[in-house]
Amino acid sequence: MSLDSVRLSQPAKDRLVRLKRTTGITQWNVLCRWALVLSLKDPSTPLVKDIVADSNVEMTWKTFAGQHRDIYLALLKQRCVADGNEPTDEVVAQTLTVHLHRGIGFLQGHKELQTVEGLVKATT
Protein backbone atom coordinates (compact mmCIF):
# COMPACT_ATOMS: atom_id res chain seq x y z
CA MET A 1 0.00 0.00 0.00
CA SER A 2 1.25 3.48 -0.80
CA LEU A 3 0.01 7.00 -1.16
CA ASP A 4 0.36 6.87 -4.95
CA SER A 5 -3.32 6.06 -5.27
CA VAL A 6 -6.38 6.20 -3.05
CA ARG A 7 -9.00 3.52 -3.53
CA LEU A 8 -12.32 3.09 -1.74
CA SER A 9 -14.28 0.07 -0.60
CA GLN A 10 -17.62 -0.64 -2.25
CA PRO A 11 -19.61 0.37 0.86
CA ALA A 12 -17.70 3.68 1.00
CA LYS A 13 -18.44 4.29 -2.67
CA ASP A 14 -22.13 3.60 -2.09
CA ARG A 15 -22.18 6.10 0.79
CA LEU A 16 -20.43 8.72 -1.34
CA VAL A 17 -22.93 8.24 -4.17
CA ARG A 18 -25.72 9.11 -1.74
CA LEU A 19 -23.72 12.03 -0.32
CA LYS A 20 -23.12 13.42 -3.79
CA ARG A 21 -26.89 13.59 -4.24
CA THR A 22 -27.66 15.15 -0.86
CA THR A 23 -24.79 17.66 -0.72
CA GLY A 24 -24.60 18.60 -4.38
CA ILE A 25 -20.81 18.10 -4.21
CA THR A 26 -20.05 16.16 -7.36
CA GLN A 27 -16.35 15.38 -6.99
CA TRP A 28 -15.21 12.24 -5.14
CA ASN A 29 -12.00 13.91 -4.00
CA VAL A 30 -13.77 16.87 -2.40
CA LEU A 31 -16.07 14.65 -0.35
CA CYS A 32 -13.12 12.43 0.57
CA ARG A 33 -11.14 15.43 1.82
CA TRP A 34 -14.02 16.43 4.09
CA ALA A 35 -14.27 12.85 5.33
CA LEU A 36 -10.56 12.66 6.10
CA VAL A 37 -10.53 15.92 8.02
CA LEU A 38 -13.59 14.94 10.06
CA SER A 39 -12.02 11.63 11.04
CA LEU A 40 -8.63 13.14 11.86
CA LYS A 41 -10.37 15.68 14.08
CA ASP A 42 -11.79 12.83 16.21
CA PRO A 43 -9.09 11.82 18.73
CA SER A 44 -10.33 8.24 19.04
CA THR A 45 -8.74 5.40 17.08
CA PRO A 46 -10.81 4.05 14.18
CA LEU A 47 -12.21 0.63 15.03
CA VAL A 48 -11.83 -0.89 11.57
CA LYS A 49 -8.25 -1.58 10.56
CA ASP A 50 -8.62 -3.90 7.57
CA ILE A 51 -10.49 -2.34 4.68
CA VAL A 52 -10.96 -4.07 1.35
CA ALA A 53 -10.62 -1.41 -1.34
CA ASP A 54 -12.77 -3.23 -3.88
CA SER A 55 -14.70 -0.46 -5.63
CA ASN A 56 -13.91 1.15 -8.94
CA VAL A 57 -13.37 4.53 -7.27
CA GLU A 58 -9.68 5.23 -7.37
CA MET A 59 -7.76 8.48 -7.60
CA THR A 60 -4.16 9.51 -7.47
CA TRP A 61 -2.81 11.12 -4.32
CA LYS A 62 -2.36 14.32 -6.33
CA THR A 63 -6.06 14.32 -7.29
CA PHE A 64 -7.17 13.37 -3.80
CA ALA A 65 -5.15 16.01 -1.96
CA GLY A 66 -4.91 18.67 -4.66
CA GLN A 67 -2.74 21.70 -4.15
CA HIS A 68 -2.70 21.13 -0.39
CA ARG A 69 -1.17 17.65 -0.56
CA ASP A 70 1.74 18.64 1.68
CA ILE A 71 -0.70 19.76 4.38
CA TYR A 72 -2.74 16.55 4.15
CA LEU A 73 0.45 14.49 4.29
CA ALA A 74 1.63 16.43 7.35
CA LEU A 75 -1.74 15.88 9.05
CA LEU A 76 -1.55 12.15 8.38
CA LYS A 77 2.02 11.92 9.67
CA GLN A 78 1.07 13.93 12.76
CA ARG A 79 -1.79 11.53 13.42
CA CYS A 80 0.54 8.54 13.08
CA VAL A 81 2.87 10.02 15.68
CA ALA A 82 -0.03 10.96 17.97
CA ASP A 83 -1.23 7.35 17.78
CA GLY A 84 2.25 6.09 18.67
CA ASN A 85 3.17 4.85 15.20
CA GLU A 86 6.25 5.53 13.12
CA PRO A 87 5.10 7.60 10.10
CA THR A 88 6.50 5.26 7.45
CA ASP A 89 4.97 5.29 3.97
CA GLU A 90 3.06 2.10 4.75
CA VAL A 91 1.68 3.37 8.07
CA VAL A 92 0.71 6.73 6.58
CA ALA A 93 -1.13 4.99 3.73
CA GLN A 94 -2.96 2.73 6.20
CA THR A 95 -3.83 5.75 8.35
CA LEU A 96 -5.27 7.49 5.30
CA THR A 97 -7.38 4.46 4.42
CA VAL A 98 -8.89 3.90 7.85
CA HIS A 99 -9.53 7.58 8.52
CA LEU A 100 -10.97 8.17 5.07
CA HIS A 101 -13.43 5.31 5.48
CA ARG A 102 -14.35 6.29 9.04
CA GLY A 103 -14.91 9.87 7.87
CA ILE A 104 -17.17 8.72 5.05
CA GLY A 105 -19.19 6.88 7.67
CA PHE A 106 -19.36 10.08 9.74
CA LEU A 107 -20.62 12.01 6.73
CA GLN A 108 -23.30 9.46 5.98
CA GLY A 109 -24.34 8.94 9.58
CA HIS A 110 -25.07 12.53 10.57
CA LYS A 111 -27.79 14.49 8.79
CA GLU A 112 -26.18 17.82 9.71
CA LEU A 113 -23.05 16.76 7.79
CA GLN A 114 -24.98 16.15 4.60
CA THR A 115 -25.02 19.84 3.63
CA VAL A 116 -22.15 22.14 2.79
CA GLU A 117 -23.09 24.37 5.71
CA GLY A 118 -23.05 21.42 8.08
CA LEU A 119 -19.63 20.34 6.82
CA VAL A 120 -18.18 23.78 7.42
CA LYS A 121 -19.61 23.95 10.95
CA ALA A 122 -18.30 20.48 11.81
CA THR A 123 -14.74 21.24 10.81
CA THR A 124 -14.35 24.66 12.37
Whether the per-residue pLDDT at 119 is higher than 80: the answer is no
The 3-state DSSP class for residue 62 equals: helix
* Residue 11 pLDDT: 93
Burial, 109: exposed, middle or buried (Cβ in 10 Å; 0-12, 13-18, 19+)?
exposed
What integer pLDDT is reported at residue 2 of this predicted model? 61
Higher pLDDT, residue 110 or 19:
19
6 sits in which H/E element: strand 5-7
User: The whole model's pTM is what?
Assistant: 0.86
Q: What is the pLDDT of residues 33-86, one digit of tens each?
A: 999 999 999 999 988 778 888 888 889 999 999 999 999 999 999 999 999 999
CB atoms closer than 10 angstroms to residue 60: 12
Residue 119 phi, psi (nearest 5): -65, -45
Topology of domain 5-117 in CATH is Arc Repressor Mutant (1.10.1220)
Q: Taking the domains of the chain in order of start, what are their residue ranges?
A: 5-117
